[in-house]
Structure 1
Amino acid sequence: MIAKAAGSVGIKLILTALTTTFVALVVATVAMLVYDLKSFQRGWVDDLTTQAVLVATASAPAISFNDPRVARQNLGLLRVRPEIQAGAIYTANGALFASYVQTAAELAALPQHPGQLGYAIEGGRMVVTHPIMDQGERIGTVYLSATYRLLDRLQSYALILLGVMLGSLLLAAIVAHRLQQTITRPLLAVTDVARNVMQRRDYSLRVNERATGEIGTLVDAFNDMLAEIARRSNALQDANLTLEHEMTVRQGAERALLLADRRKDEFLATLAHELRNPLAPIRTGLDIMRINASDPVSVERARTIMERQLKQMVRLVDDLLDVSRINTGKLTIRREQLMLQDVVNDALELARPFIAAQGHTLHVQVPEQAVYLVGDATRLAQVLSNLLHNAAKYTARGGSITLEAEARDGQVQLHVKDNGIGISPALLDDIFEMFIQADSSLERSTAGLGVGLSLARKLVELHGGSISAESAGEGQGSTFTVTLPVLAETSVAKPQAETLQADARLHRILLADDNVDFVNGIGGLLRSLGHQVHIAHDGNEALAAAETFAPQFAFLDIGLPGLNGYDLARALKRLPALKHTVMVAVTGWGQQKDRQHAFEAGFHHHLVKPVSIDQFQEILAQSGP
């Protein structure tokens, strides 16, 4: 059956080639025949017309002088053209003047009158009629009749074309036979492989017959199909294993989601707890200041407590904001040359009060020779102070904390060691993740949200360094190591002594904020220092008062009703009297883009709430006009 199919395809291919060739030859033959007949006819017309013109030109004097003999002599010259069977010359009135015929039978066929000018085909003859002119006047007519052998022409062409067609069909049959071999052989190979695949279920079989063009594409597609079926067969065989693996992964993902959800709930509960803790002593301090307002000692003690708790709240909020900025890619660090010893001193200045308050002993060991880094001094000091703060927080009162720094192999390593509660081996890999705390029990005496170490790791990585934790186990203390690259070549400028003297001058200050308690409190403090203060609670009110008040400093909230702080700053800049006014943005928006918007609006400084009177005084002292 396969052989019959292949043979059938081959025969069809040969018949298709022959039919196509035959149709093409017939169309070409008809076209060539039509063209040749038209050319043949046109040639005869031109030839007879030329002969008629010659006869007319030679016979014009004979008609003019009424000399039929000369006219017959002119017609007699047509004997050299045996295909011209008869000829005649007629006068202007249509009478026969002279004639020429090859046979007597042709004489009877001459018309009595010449008829219309031009040519005509009558039976097997072609007739041409041409006028005889003399000085623009028609004096007669030439008539010529010649045999028109169209059938002879057709027979000659038919014999030639028949021979060409037979030869072409024979050649087409040979070519088609060769072509059908190149086509049917790959098809037969495809059929054989398909049969074997169906019988043996072996999808590794392939068609080895090579072909080009569409047949080659078919063979390649068939092989690709077998390969795809083989892949899918293997996939079906592995389906159960895949499903089992997916179930395992899904169960793991569900456990991870449950763990993340539990950590989220724990974090929210911890956040609420840690924010309420400072609020309680602040509320108590306010009560002390209200009840014992006349007792300076009690008031000072309450103020100290409130300041300490406020710093704790600010620290918690700042840590959360920093982690959020890092996770969203919005936190940038300043890269400048700095000295390791300065970073350590800044970190100790931040952490030493808390360490001392816990009664710990602090040991510091740094290289005597200056070690230079490239980075953000504030952020690196934040990392070290965070580690020192954690060491003090998770170490029982009266413990020991050590800060060591050593430079080697182009790097500096800072080790923060303590003899505190230690870290469980199971937590060492997760201690730098968000919201993970070594002690998460309700009975813990330490506060925090579990974001400090995550923030420290990300800040160190922004500086091209790394951070790691080590601990022998719970109750065995812990060691945190920060590794940073050291600057190989330094260009250290000589330090310049700066003396900041207190500015005893008094200023006109405009305060604009819709938080009435905050702005009235700050305004009262500034007035108590002797400054002239004007307070406004919306943007339009501040703009209306600014031109007459002419402030030297304008501390403006951004989220003002009526006219926001950006538009207010631009409007104040346009007032001639406020050309030299120092404008300061005081806002809760503290991201880099917010600072950029403030500077573009014309602000000279940007303070993030909560702000202290010390920050106001520093700007008044440094930026005073």
Structure 2
Amino acid sequence: MLAHLKPGTVRGKLILMALATTFVALVASSAAMLLYDLDSFQQYWVDDMTTQAEIVAAVSMPALSFNDQTAARQNLSLLRVRPQIQAGAIYAANGKLFAAYAQSVQDTPVFPDKPGRPGYSIESGRLVVNHPIVENGEVIGSIYLSARYRLIDRVRSYAAILGGVMVLSLLLAALVASRLQRGITEPLAAVTGVAREVMQKRDFSLRVPPSGSGEIGTLVAAFNNMLAEVGRRAYALQEANQTLEREMAVRQGAERALLLADRRKDEFLATLAHELRNPLAPIRTGLDMLRVNPDDLAAGAKARAIMERQLKQMVRLVDDLLDVSRINTGKLAIRREPVQLHAVVGDALELVRPYLSALGHELQVVLPPPPVCVHGDGTRLAQVLSNLLNNAAKYTDRGGKLALLAELDGDSLRIRVRDNGIGVAPHMLGEIFEMFVQADTSLERSTAGLGVGLSLARKLVELHGGSLAAASAGLGQGSEFTVTLPLMPPPPADAVVAPRADGQRRRHRILLVDDNADFVDGIGILLSAAGHTVRVCHGGQEALDLAAGFAPDFAFLDIGLPQLNGYDLARALRQLPGLHSTVLVAVTGWGQQKDRQLAFEAGFQVHLVKPVGLEQFLAILDGGG
């Protein structure tokens, strides 16, 4: 049986639990029985000694009355029959010792000088009883008895008995527990063995043999079911871990992309501030030239040319940003119509030729013979080619060589823009089309741009169903960008519409409303110089009050107006009699698609985004004529 008491085993723990429980119960019961026995033992001795004192007092009463000490000593000597009583004494009424007795002559006890209070006390292993001697209701003396109080001997003997009983009970409890625990520990040992094998081999197909009914049988069945469920979940967890690893790889890639995008965003903001400040300095210089030399016509013309070029540069930067935003949000719409290649190239060259001339670049243009047509937006395609040419000129040293080469390839049109500039590193070929990425970010290049031109060009080409690719032999060896577009048959000759001659312009009544006095007053002066009748207002309510009597043919309205905003002003103008045919044009800095939709819902027929030049006003006026 002791061999089963191995520490840590269920069998040993169950036996130890039974023994511990039995031991605690025996100790508690033994302590209670011992306390009860000691209390009974003490009460027995107190009662016995008190009885002996009463007997001695009764027989010694005449001796005290007649002052017969001899008779009193004889009465005390009768205590010899009780060897436990070691000493006795009789005290007179005055408290003096009258007679005394000692069990052993050798051990003469020391009697107290006077009797104690009636009752009993335990002193140094002795039980002392003091009892009064009363005759006719008068105390004539007292009895003193002292006996050995063998409490320790009583405890020892009782403890020996209890110890024997406890050892025998524990042996019996261990024997019974060893017999009973087999029905519990054997199935549990089987469960433990299977659990250990599962942990070592990771084999969840192992099972514990059934163990009958009852709670142990339920435990074994539950353990087997748990193994089956754990096996299924382990397989599912393994698959989930593999999926999680793949997702973590994707997330890490996304995090790196976000960090790269954040760094590019910071670089873009710094570049944007730089690029917007660059045109402001020449514009400020042109204003100073006009202020210092107001009568110098040559200086004025030069100043105006400077400011016009720089203003176009700023407008181009803002337009690029707006176009990228519209494309990313899916709100940029292109007008698809038959467009001739030569017209698109001509528009693009008209945009970039001043810039190429300023840098001294040589441009070679090779086009297939007309007609070559694509189905798309001519303005946007010209913007693509101008961006590519601008980009080539920007990253080519002064006096470089550029080429625009177009060729037919089956049902496709390929347009290549080539330069002998700084080139593109191989690792950057796939990244230069990303937003805000630039091939060269060194401070030495003063015309770095915003890093949106190539991204915008590629998205515009993709909107036309084409593609834009880059190639370069390496740094310092130039680069080549190839635009591929689907071809379409050329339009019939009678589809070409002749432009309207400028000499046929009509004169109109025009209402201009804007809280920017410098802008609206200047446009008013220019339109008045062109022969139109113009009224200028700086607030919405002021314009509404003027419009009824003026009856304009065209009304150019800002949206953010004091007193009455442009949307509400347009609705109010539509309600006025005589203004139903007035052409309402929104001139605003808000250029998102939702802003255009709000303008059309308010009654505007045209939506212009600031900055707006005189030629745009004249184009609308010519169209309305």
For Structure 1 versus Structure 2, the TM-score category normalised by the shorter chain is: 0.5 to 0.7
Structure 1 residue 599 corresponds to structure 2 residue 596: no
User: Max radius of gyration: which structure?
Assistant: 2
Tell whether the 8 Å contact from 1:203 to 1:230 is kept in structure 2 after alignment: no
In structure 2, how many angstroms separate the alpha carbons of the residues matched to 1:376 and 1:203?
67
Aligned-pair distance for 1:320?
Answer: 0.9
Residue 584 of structure 2 aligns to a residue whose secondary structure is strand
Question: Is 1:203 aligned to 2:208, yes or no?
Answer: no
- Aligned partner of 1:121 in structure 2 is none
Contact 1:338 / 1:377 at 8 angstroms: preserved in 2?
yes
How many Å apart are 1:254 and its aligned residue? Answer: 6.1
Structure 1 residue aligned with 2:621: 620
Q: Which residue of 1 aligns with 2:210?
A: none
Q: Match for residue 307 of structure 1?
A: 308
Deviates more, 1:424-433 or 1:296-305: 424-433
Q: State the secondary structure of the residue aligned to 2:459.
A: helix
Residues 1:532 and 1:458: Cα distance change in structure 2 (over 3 Å): same
Give the Cα–Cα distance (whole angstroms) in 2 for the partners of residues 254 and 582 of structure 1: 51
Which residue number in structure 2 is paired with residue 278 of structure 1?
279
- For structure 2, the residue ranges without an aligned partner over 5 or more in a row are 1-187, 208-222
TM-score, normalised by the number of residues in structure 2: 0.62
1:480, CA displacement in angstroms?
A: 0.5
Deviation at 1:458, TM superposition (A): 1.2
What is the correspondence of 1:256-275 to structure 2 with a 5 Å cutoff?
256-275=257-276
Question: Partner of 2:578: helix, strand, or coil?
Answer: helix
Q: How does 1:483-494 map to 2 (within 5 A)?
A: 483-487=484-488, 492=492, 494=494
Separation (CA, whole Å) in 2 of partners of 1:347 and 1:448: 18
Structure 1 stretch displaced more, 297-306 or 337-346: 337-346
Query: Offset at 1:545?
Result: 0.7
Q: Hey, what's the Cα distance between the residues in 2 that align with 1:333 and 1:234? A: 47
Which residue type is aligned with residue 609 of structure 1?
K
CA contact (8 A) 1:413 1:484 kept: yes
In structure 1, the partner of 2:63 is none
Q: 1:242 to 1:360 in 2, by over 3 A?
A: closer
Q: Distance in 1 between matches of 2:406 and 2:568?
A: 50
Tell me whether 1:474 sits opposite 2:475 in the alignment. Answer: yes
What CA distance in whole angstroms lies between the structure 2 residues aligned with 1:273 and 1:534? 39
Would you say the 8 A contact 2:340–2:374 is kept in 1? yes
Name the CA shift for 1:418/1:242 in 2 (closer, same or farther; >3 Å).
closer
Tell me how far 1:450 sits from its aligned partner: 0.8
- What residue in structure 2 maps to residue 227 of structure 1? 232
Aligned-partner residue type, residue 227 of structure 1: R
Per-residue CA shift, 1:120-173, capped at 9, x if unaligned? xxxxxxxxxxxxxxxxxxxxxxxxxxxxxxxxxxxxxxxxxxxxxxxxxxxxxx
Distance, in Å, in 1 between the alignment partners of 2:587 and 2:314 is 19
User: C-alpha displacement at 1:199, in angstroms?
Assistant: 5.1
User: Match of 1:376?
Assistant: 377
Taking the TM superposition and a 5 Å limit, the aligned residue runs for 1:420-439 are: 420-439=421-440
* Segment drifting more, 223-232 vs 534-543: 223-232
CA contact (8 A) 1:204 1:230 kept: no
Distance in 2 (alpha carbons) for counterparts of 1:400 and 1:420: 8
Task: Return the alpha-carbon distance in structure 1 between the equivalents of residues 253 and 580 of structure 2.
Answer: 64
Larger mean Cα displacement after TM superposition, 294-303 or 343-352: 343-352
Change (3 A) 1:607 1:229: closer
**What is the CA-CA distance between 1:362 and the residue it aligns to?**
1.4
Question: Take 2:282 and 2:308, find their aligned partners in 1: how far apart are those partners?
Answer: 10
How far 1:242 moved relative to its partner?
Answer: 5.9
Name the CA shift for 1:260/1:620 in 2 (closer, same or farther; >3 Å). Answer: closer
Cα distance in 2 for partners of 1:283, 1:306 equals 8
Q: 1:262-411 residue pairs with structure 2 within 5 A? A: 262-411=263-412
Give yes or no for contact 1:401–1:419 (8 Å, CA) kept in 2: yes
| One-letter identity of the residue aligned with 1:228 | R
Change (3 A) 1:194 1:413: farther
Q: What whole-Å deviation, never above 9, does each CA across 1:543-588 have from its counterpart, x for those lacking one?
A: 1111111222211111212222122112112212222222211111
Question: Helix, strand or coil: the match of 1:577?
Answer: coil
C-alpha separation in 1, matches of 2:264 and 2:500: 48
Aligned to 1:279, the other structure's residue is in SS state helix
The SS at the match of 1:277 is helix
Instruction: Give the TM-score normalised by structure 1.
Output: 0.62
Which digits, 9 at most, give the CA deviation of each residue in 1:385-410, with x for residues without a partner? 11011111211222111111122232
Matched, 1:565 2:562: no
Helix, strand or coil: the match of 2:380? helix
Distance 1:265-1:492 versus aligned 2 partners, 3 A rule: same
SS of structure 1 residue aligned to 2:494: coil
Separation in 1, partners of 2:487, 2:433: 24
What is the SS of the residue equivalent to 1:576? coil
Equivalent residues of 2:204, 2:230 under 8 A apart: no
**Native 8 Å contact 1:567 1:601 kept in 2:** yes
Q: Identity rate of aligned residues, in percent?
A: 62
Distance 1:229 1:550 in 2: 82
One-letter amino acid matched to 2:466: G
Distance 1:242 1:395, change over 3 A: closer
For 1:435-454, what aligned pairs fall within 5 Å after superposition?
A: 435-454=436-455
Q: Is the 8 A contact 1:206 1:226 kept in 2?
A: no
What whole-Å deviation, never above 9, does each CA across 1:568-621 have from its counterpart, x for those lacking one? 112112212222222211111222332233233222222211111122222222
What secondary structure is seen at the aligned counterpart in 2 of 1:205?
A: coil
CA contact (8 A) 1:558 1:586 kept: yes
- Cα deviation digits, residues 27-57 of structure 1 (max 9, x gap): xxxxxxxxxxxxxxxxxxxxxxxxxxxxxxx
Q: Deviations over 1:467-503 (max 9, x none)?
A: 111111121111011112223x566452445241334
1:511 is aligned to 2:512: yes
Q: Determine if contact 2:416/2:482 at 8 Å carries over to the other structure.
A: yes
Q: What is the deviation of 1:425?
A: 1.8
Does residue 547 of structure 2 align to residue 542 of structure 1?
no
Quick check: 536-545 or 612-621, which moved more?
Answer: 612-621
Match for residue 459 of structure 1? 460
Number of aligned residue pairs: give it: 424
Cα separation, 2, equivalents of 1:320 and 1:491: 33
CA contact (8 A) 1:197 1:205 kept: no
1:609 has 2:614 as partner:
no
Pairwise CA RMSD of aligned residues? 3.4
**Distance across 1 between alignment mates of 2:329 and 2:272:** 21
Indicate the residue corresponding to 1:30 in structure 2.
none
Q: Which runs of 5+ in 1 are unaligned?
A: 1-190, 208-217
| 8 Å contact kept, 2:422–2:476 | yes
